[in-house]
Amino acid sequence: MGVKPVRWMMTGPGKPFVPVEFDIGILGADEVLVKIAGCGVCHTDLGYYYDGVRTKHELPLTLGHEISGHVVETGTDVLEYLDRAIIIPAVIPCGRCDACRRGKATICPNQKMPGNDIHGGFATHIIVPARGLCVVHEDRLAATGIELADLSVIADAVTTPYQAVVQAGVTNGDLVVVNGVGGVGGYAVQIAAALGATVIAIDMNEEKLAALTGHGVALTLNCKQMTSREIKTAIQTFAKEHGLRQREWVIFECSGTRAGQETAFALLNHGATLAVVGFTMDKVEIRLSNLMAFHARAIGNWGCPPDLYPEAMELVLTGRVKIAPFVEKHPLSEINQVFEAAHVGTLKRRAVLVPTS
């Protein structure tokens, strides 16, 4: 390969990432070697790095699970992927266990998550199982003006809310509320609107709300100075004025904060669906009996089955979901500065780290 591939390793919580060369070795029959085009920085990565969330693989570990790139080498059983542009699933199921055979790939007990179970995408190259790779047709990509590195965010920021929207059964005529619209939440707004819903966005950051103008949002609410009751009243008023349902709202909690989760739960009404997409280590205090009284439901959302990736990518390639206005690329060598900026909230868009060699 000439120059050795490099991984940027996390050696401990909050410690600077360190570049380390590594050997490829011999690929397994079902494995591929991917030259990385880009890897997105996700809230989950920040949780591992700053908040004490434990990775399944012991440290040192390369983080990063939003990965796109080109397959440059394959094992003997997956030659069809050689030289293909691909997106790697953020969660790779085994495809063989009982859960996978019954269509429940997101709870596969043998799943591998780059940057958690195995070394991830903050590197020049990555070795992963070929199962579930989403092939990108570069002729179509070129016509959109979107770069392959940008598509890395499909692996989580787009497909995770896509799975949540599909699982919740969102369809034409639904009233959807998305709480927390930075990153994943912003794409949840676009996806729900693309499937025919009227979408209300809630956030405490006015810039994030304003960024969604023209991208599927019908109403924005800044929760910084609103109580949960006031937010619910504002949504009820909007629904009545626009002839929308006063019941059966579909609520996506994407903030990944205690306050956000409590607000989202407070928005439950009769027949509502609450989809918990964001993650926090914090505990919340709620009256669980509201689910019973409203005959509502609450569902979790872990990743996205690989078979849904092509559908999510199609929304992007056809322009129904925009990613370019919401990402910004940085050299991989600036990983330490980018993580700090993401942590303190100075990044305006989702960062994608791009190897320079």
pLDDT in tens, 34-51: 999 999 999 899 999 998
| Rounded Cα distance, 269 and 7, in Å | 48
Quickly tell me which residue has 């990555």 as its tokens: 126
**pLDDT computed for residue 357 by the predictor:** 65
Topology of the domain covering 6-156+304-354:
Quinone Oxidoreductase; Chain A, domain 1 (3.90.180)
Q: Which residues contact 262 (CB under 8 A, 6 or more apart)?
A: 228, 284, 285, 286
Contact between 298 and 291 (Cβ < 8 Å) = yes
Residues 7-32: tens digit of each pLDDT: 999 999 999 999 999 999 999 999 99
Contact between 86 and 133 (Cβ < 8 Å) = yes
**pLDDT computed for residue 3 by the predictor:** 78
Quickly tell me which residue has 């570990």 as its tokens: 61
Query: What per-residue string of b and e applies to 294-328 under the rule 16 or more CB within 10 Å gives b?
Result: bebebeebebbbbebbeebbebbbeeebbbeebbe
**pLDDT computed for residue 1 by the predictor:** 59
Contact between 334 and 351 (Cβ < 8 Å) = no
| Rounded Cα distance, 160 and 187, in Å | 9
**pLDDT computed for residue 348 by the predictor:** 86
Q: Where are the domains of the chain?
A: 6-156+304-354, 159-300
| Rounded Cα distance, 336 and 245, in Å | 47
Q: Which residues contact 209 (CB under 8 A, 6 or more apart)?
A: 181, 201, 203, 217, 220, 221, 222
Regions of the chain short of the pLDDT cut 70:
1-2, 357
DSSP bridge partners of 69: 36, 86
Q: Which CATH number fits domain 159-300: 2.60.40.420, 3.20.20.300, 3.40.50.720, 3.30.9.30?
A: 3.40.50.720
How many CB atoms lie under 10 A from the CB of residue 224?
9
pTM over 0.85: yes
Please check whether the two domains, 6-156+304-354 and 159-300, share a CATH topology. Answer: no
